[in-house]
Amino acid sequence: MITSKNYFEKVKDIDPSRFSADLRERYDYVKEVTEDHSTWDFYNADNDIKAAVDQYLADFSDYLNKQRGGQTSPTENEAREVAKKLIHSSVSYGETAEAINKGMVGVYNGKEEAQLRSNKIFVTKVAGQKVDYKFPLRSIYNELLKELGGSAPTKPVGKPAKKRQQNKPRPSASKPRVSVGKTTKVERISEDVRFIKRYLLMHGKKKTDMQILNFLSALQKAIVEKRVRKSSPYAHQIDYIQKNLVKLYNDMGRIVEIKVRDSVLIEFLEIAGSEQVRLSVSYMKRYMGMQGKNIDKEKAKRLHSLVSTALDKGKISKTDPYREKIIRIITSLKQFIDKAKPSDTLKLHSTVLNGINEVLDGCCPDCDKKEKLNGMDDTDAQPLAGPGDDIVMNSMAFSGMQFETLGFMGKWREFIGDPAPGFSAMVSARPKMGKSYLCADFAGYLAEHHGETLFVAGEEKLSHTLQQKIEAVKHPCLHVTGKLPDDLSPYDFIVLDSVTRLRLTPNDLRSLKERYPRKSFIYVYQVTKAGQFRGSQEAQHDVDVVIEVPEKGRAVQSGRYNQGGEMDIFEPKDIQAA
């Protein structure tokens, strides 16, 4: 058994490149919090870190046991049972083997993996162990028919046998009901499950070709931005959705009625009900929604009563990882109820906010992780040390060095490249060309994927027009203000729109970078009709990335990380499928 007492010694003989993607990610996390496997100080000081590391150690022990042959391999009969389970519901509904083969079904639940293709069932995992078995579909199909006491159906595909219909009615075409048998509590529903739910909601409804295209565009965008990955447990189902909708779109007219095959419907309904947002997280979202608003005491009392009752009745259990934060919320609401005047707004103090943002709506889990783990303030943080400028290095050695980057994805990587932490950028354009929309979109991306982001709206202030821009990219890690705060330590990325209106000089900007060397700044500049900056030209030489908007809706970029990037600012908005 691997524990904190023997892990440092055991891990020396392990090659992490052979780990699964999930285990490798957690290995890297443990390596970080133990400072390259040298200390358990952070582990002993933080209960959340301890819980995450303990789970990793248990999974790491299981990995070693499998590597050493500590478990007996599943038998062919056990694999055959998994294959039967895969098509059991379809056979019980009276579908033919040919129809089942076209359904492209699969099962991925962590302990069992099987998929159907080319009239064969491939079983790749049984009882959590990887295997390699394949069975003819017809063989498994006939075996199930015997067990169910039926015969091969002669009725049209997709219609259940009458004998089975009395005991197990097929799902309603108009109202697919989510299965909630085995539910995992999560902070945010995964992108895969969200798309599967959207696909289910199309069942039995008429959709236009544009609605189908918008769904496919949204799915493609999620794949490109790696919000939906090949390593996902539901990658097979996402691939099925994509292929079927592409074929449907190519063959359809103006409008089509969507009908999901029975076997696929049952499988997807089970997946749709497999994740549920924690009640504690839902209450935290409601509490955060009150921030800075004029709320009456009655509204605060209602939320206080709901949260208190949930705690008292055990709906938020003692093992809930956010129980402590919920208790802080109750205390904050009680103080507001007891002391607030009718015109007062609910203020969220740092003691209450600490740790809440990172669990709301998928906020970047790495937000300030490194600085907070070692207790450093941002003003003390320094860029990663590279070789000294006065050192002469062999080109082979220099080529082999690794430098830290932010890991940009999707369209922003294509446009800007992959910048280092603490990068700086400038955006310039004439009025009404779309530079603020571009910066708002960029700020939303940074907030969702990379950390706490502050948008300083010096031009529009906190106005209705700014609200329209932020609405499309709103996120718990994205913050807005009309004035530059004195303290920027809570944020990783700061957008200054615009430097001109905020009356910041080149020396002011240099001072900000010197004070916050690990922060990334995006400076927005106004440009005159003659194409000159309103202010000094010095900034163009001080930044890493230069973005210009030469014509309405089109941005071009040049900089250290990628030369010649281009982007259309105004993209068609995705229409949410009903």
Task: Look at residues 229, 252, 277 and tell me which one is the last residue of a structural domain.
Answer: 277
Domain count, the chain: 5
User: 58-67, 141-150, 369-378, 496-505: which has the minimum mean pLDDT?
Assistant: 369-378
Task: Give me the pLDDT at residue 520, please.
Answer: 93
| Domain presence at residue 310 | yes
Q: Give me the percent of the chain exceeding a pLDDT of 90.
A: 7
139 and 254 in a single domain? The answer is no
Is position 194 within any domain? yes
Query: Which of left, alpha, beta for 140 (phi over 0: left; psi -120 to 50: alpha)?
Result: alpha
User: 453 with 561, same domain?
Assistant: yes
Report the pLDDT averaged over residues 240-260. Answer: 85
Quick one: 458 and 534 in the same domain? yes
> How many CB atoms are closer than 10 A to CB 295?
17
User: Do 535 and 424 lie in a common domain?
Assistant: yes
Residue 372 lies in a domain: no
Residues 112 and 257 in one domain: no
Give one DSSP letter per residue of 224-271, joined into a string.
Answer: HTTSS-TTSTTHHHHHHHHHHHHHHHHH--SEEE----HHHHHHHHHH
The answer to whether residue 1 sits within a structural domain is no
- Whether 82 shows a pLDDT value over 70: the answer reads yes
In contact, 304 and 330? CB cutoff 8 Å: yes
- pLDDT confidence band for 69 (50 / 70 / 90): low
Residue 328 and residue 312 share a domain: yes
Of 76-85, 296-305, 535-544, highest mean pLDDT:
76-85
Return the pLDDT at 446.
Answer: 93
Burial class (CB in 10 A: 0-12, 13-18, 19+), 308: middle
Give the model's confidence band at 74: pLDDT under 50 very low, under 70 low, under 90 confident, else very high: confident
| Residues 427 and 453 reside in one and the same domain | yes
pLDDT tens-digit readout, 168-179: 444 444 455 555
Task: State the chain's mean pLDDT as an integer.
Answer: 76
Instruction: Read off the DSSP letter of residue 276.
Output: E
Note whether 127 and 217 are same-domain residues. Answer: no
Q: How many Cα atoms sit within 13 Å of 137 on the Cβ side?
A: 24
380-433 residue pLDDT tens: 333 333 444 545 656 765 665 656 788 888 889 889 988 988 899 999 888 888
Tell me: do 271 and 295 sit in the same domain: no
Q: What is the pLDDT at residue 367?
A: 41
Neighbouring C-beta atoms of residue 386, cutoff 10 Å = 11
Domain that holds residue 22: 7-67
237 and 356 in one domain? Answer: no
Better-predicted residue by pLDDT, 30 or 570:
30
| CATH, residue 456 | 3.40.50.300
